[in-house]
Amino acid sequence: MRIGFGYDSHVFTDAAKPLMLGGVCIPDAPGLQAHSDGDVLIHAIIDALFGAAALGDIGSHFPDTDERWKGADSGKLLEAAMGEVRAAGYALGNLDVTVICERPKLRPHVEAIRARLAQLLGVAVGQISVKGKTNEKMDDVGAGRGIVVHAVVLLTP
């Protein structure tokens, strides 16, 4: 078995852009600055998957200097990452994600995000955990400037 940890953070943008979290469009907050669709939650998961399999990181597979990934649907990147992990001989045991932000409130969206991630990863919803927290108003995340995500995955043979 292999464990992997992933982290990502993005700042909210003033540009008219939808907020994508875990492959779900969230209507009650601004979008995130990024070369791709800015799905910070999926980016953390991708790094956890590549980390667990010792296959590098999101930047080495999908560089943000590459025009192919401009405005990219991070769901597609997640499917590609899971495909590489499977090709290396692993299956997803479980995934646990913590999202830290003052906005949006995550709880109303958690079940939709779990269902979408399970679909993208080809696993059961019971293998996916998504938890939301605030930063108790501390620092820039606490001031509501952006979103931080931590993800842990376990890969099985």
Binding site for Mg ion (CB under 5 A): 8, 43
**Cβ closest to Mg ion, residue 58 vs residue 154:** 58
Q: How far is the CB of 126 from Mg ion (least distance, A)?
A: 27
Distance CA 140, CA 52 (A): 29
Q: How far is the CB of 118 from Mg ion (least distance, A)?
A: 21
**Cβ closest to Mg ion, residue 44 vs residue 126:** 44
**Cβ closest to Mg ion, residue 47 vs residue 102:** 47
Q: How far is the CB of 92 from Mg ion (least distance, A)?
A: 20
Q: How far is the CB of 130 from Mg ion (least distance, A)?
A: 17
* Residue with smallest beta-carbon separation from Mg ion: 43
Distances (CA, A) of 7 to 58, 59, 79, 131, 148: 11, 13, 18, 14, 8
**Cβ closest to Mg ion, residue 18 vs residue 108:** 18
Q: How far is the CB of 1 from Mg ion (least distance, A)?
A: 27
**Cβ closest to Mg ion, residue 8 vs residue 102:** 8
Radius of gyration in angstroms for the set of CA atoms belonging to the chain, rounded to a whole number? 15
